[in-house]
Homo-oligomer: A and B are copies of this chain.
Amino acid sequence: TQLTFCVVGDGEAETGPLATGWHGNKFVNPKTDGVVLPVLHLNGYKIANPTVLARIPDDELADLMRGYGHDPYFFEAQPGDDHLEAHRRFARLLDDVLDRIVAIKTDAESVDADAVERPRWPMIVFRTPKGWTGPASVDGKQTEAHWRSHQVPLANARDSEEHLQVLADWLASYRPEELFDERGALDDRFDVLRPAGERRMSANPVANGGQLLKDLIMPDFRDFAVDPDSDGHGGPVVESTRRLGEFLAEVARRNPDNFRVFGPDETASNRLQAVYEATPKQWLGDYLPTDAPDPMRRQGQVMEVLSEHQCQGWLEGYLLTGRHGMMSSYEAFIHVVDSMFNQHAKWMESTNEIGWRRPVASLNYLLSSHVWRQDHNGFSHQDPGFLDVVMNKSPEVIRVYLPPDVNTLLSTFDHCLRSKQYVNVVVAGKQPEPVFLNMEEAIAHCTRGLGIWEWAGTEVPGSEPDVVLACAGDVPTLETLAAADLLRQHIPELTVRVVNVVDLMRLQDEHEHPHGLSDRDFDTIFTADRPVIFAFHGYPWLVHRLAYRRTNHANLHVRGFKEKGSTTTPFDMCMRNDIDRFHLVIDVIDRVPSLRARYATLRQQMVDRRIEAKAYAYQWGTDIPEVADWTWPDAGATTADAKAAARATGGDNE
Chain B nearest CB, measured from A293 CB (Å) = 7
Number of A interface residues at 8 Å Cβ cutoff, please give it: 105
A141 CB contacts on chain B under 8 angstroms? 293
A207 contacts B by Cβ under 8 Å: no
A563 with B392, Cβ < 8 A, contacts A19-B20, A49-B281, A151-B653 known = yes
A55 contacts B by Cβ under 8 Å: yes
A609 contacts B by Cβ under 8 Å: no
A49 with B265, Cβ < 8 A, contacts A155-B651, A285-B55, A335-B342 known = yes
- Complex Cα gap A392–B540 (Å): 10
- Complex Cα gap A17–B335 (Å): 13
The chain B residue sitting closest to A118, CB to CB, is: B56
A203 contacts B by Cβ under 8 Å: no
A48, A310, A385, most chain B CB atoms within 10 A: A48
Per-residue CB contact flags for chain A residues 643-654 toward chain B (1 = under 8 Å, else 0) read 000001011111
A548 CB contacts on chain B under 8 angstroms? 541, 544, 548, 553
Q: How many protomers of this protein does the assembly include? A: 2
Chain B nearest CB, measured from A263 CB (Å) = 9
B544 touches A265 (CB 8 A): no
- Complex Cα gap A349–B370 (Å): 20
Per a CB cutoff under 8 Å, which of B12, B14, B388 touches A392? B388
Per a CB cutoff under 8 Å, which of B11, B52, B269, B306 touches A11? B306
- Complex Cα gap A542–B392 (Å): 10
A221 contacts B by Cβ under 8 Å: no
B350 touches A379 (CB 8 A): yes
B265 touches A11 (CB 8 A): yes
Per-residue CB contact flags for chain A residues 285-306 toward chain B (1 = under 8 Å, else 0) read 1111011010010000000111
Chain A residues numbered 110-163 whose CB sits less than 8 Å from any CB in chain B: 141-142, 145-148, 150-153, 155-156, 158-159
A307 touches B14 (CB 8 A): yes
- Complex Cα gap A143–B430 (Å): 24
A50 CB contacts on chain B under 8 angstroms? 283, 285, 288, 291, 296
B11 touches A16 (CB 8 A): no
B142 touches A290 (CB 8 A): yes
B48 touches A69 (CB 8 A): no
A652 CB contacts on chain B under 8 angstroms? 47-48, 150-152
A650 CB contacts on chain B under 8 angstroms? 152, 155
- Complex Cα gap A290–B155 (Å): 21
A residues at B contact (CB < 8 Å): 11-12, 14-23, 26, 46-52, 55-57, 60-69, 141-142, 145-148, 150-153, 155-156, 158-159, 265-269, 281, 283, 285-288, 290-291, 293, 296, 304-310, 332-333, 335-336, 338-339, 342-343, 346, 349-350, 376, 379-380, 383, 385, 388-389, 392-394, 539, 541-542, 544-545, 548, 553-554, 563, 648, 650-654
Besides A55-B285, A151-B652, A349-B563, 17 other A-B contacts (C-beta < 8 A): A23-B52, A48-B268, A51-B306, A55-B286, A56-B285, A63-B67, A64-B66, A64-B68, A67-B67, A145-B290, A151-B376, A156-B648, A335-B389, A342-B383, A388-B388, A388-B389, A541-B545
A-B contact pairs, 12 of them (CB 8 A): A16-B21, A47-B268, A49-B296, A56-B69, A60-B67, A142-B290, A150-B653, A332-B342, A336-B338, A388-B389, A392-B563, A544-B544
